[in-house]
Amino acid sequence: MQHEEAIVIGAGPCGLAAAIELKEIGLNPLVIEKRNIVHSISQYPTYMQFFSSPELLEIGGIPFTTASDKPSRLEALNYYRVAAQRRDLRIRPYTAINAIRRETDGFLLTGEDRFGLSVVYYCRYVVIATGYFDHPNELGIPGEQSEKVSHFFRESHPYVGTEVAIIGGSNSAIDAALELERVGAKVTVVYRGESYSRSIKPWVRPGFESKVNKGAIRMLFSSSVTAIEQREIAINGPEGEYRIPNDFVLALTGFHPDRSFLTRSGVTMEDEGYPTFREDTMETNVPGIYLAGVVASRHEANEIFIESGRFHGRKIAEHIRSSR
């Protein structure tokens, strides 16, 4: 058993920010991440640019400088990696924590490493910053688990010359459709909304609408995919149900935090479905267990971004400092 004063579960931007804040008050937390550092960002589309300006993504007082107004995915990966190294954070990647059990004066954490070997930790404070990228919002339709379906879009090259259906109407769906059309994929966007989402980036929407108006991209409003088959998909739209040819499906329907891990750890849920915690300290109903980042979202997973979640660690550190 390894003894620690504090453990941060999750090495995303908000988890790293929390670890840096804990170091500022004299702790030396261990950050445990079941995949790689800032795994969610590494899963973003290869050539993606952030909507936020770089200063809104900074952690630990380390400047984030970029070549343009909006940082790229590659620049963000480099920034958070360097930030963790400069602050000398202790990070154990590829290790999953599966359970947290309250003990007399601390917490017992159990899990396993990438080789399936058990790991056991004992600590006084736990910060849960597990994000949500591992839990896509599934559609619950036949064929969703087939190999032709993905909840992630990385790059367009593998889809050259194929029929691709994109489910969703958010920025991720629109960006993917534009990239796919550029490389020669035949793109159909299936969106349940009656018109374009108001969240679409204003500098992107005109170009996308132009592609739709010219027939380069097929846009289906008030529609949903009801079944995914080997060479077709079934769509239910205003004119009824019909099928279209299909090779691949990108179900870009968003993600949600893992609430079950919280409840197994003793964290209660409010009637509205979000975890119990204090806004001023980020401490849950279990003394010593704190939340940081999107896991603390109340209604929608995207209501907490890096811009706001990066400050959760400061609240946590201040509360621990004042109580010690």
Yes or no: say if 201 and 70 are a contact pair by the CB < 8 Å rule: no
pLDDT in tens, 100-129: 999 989 999 999 999 999 999 999 999 999
What would the DSSP string read from start to end of 96-135? EEEEEEE-SSSEEEEEEETTS-EEEEEEEEEEE---STTS
pLDDT in tens, 210-255: 999 999 999 999 999 999 999 999 999 999 999 999 999 999 988 8
* More confident of the two residues 294 and 120: 120
* The model's pTM: 0.86
Instruction: Look over the chain and give the mean of its residue pLDDT values, rounded to a whole number.
Output: 93
What would the DSSP string read from start to end of 269-316? B-TTSSBPB-TTT-BBSSTTEEE-GGGG-SS-GGGS-HHHHTTHHHHH
Could you tell me the domains of the chain? 2-135+255-323 (3.50.50.60), 149-251 (3.50.50.60)
User: Looking at residue 304, what is its pLDDT?
Assistant: 53
Structure tokens at 178: 């534009």
Residues in the chain, total: 324
Cα 270 to Cα 276: distance, rounded to the nearest angstrom: 6
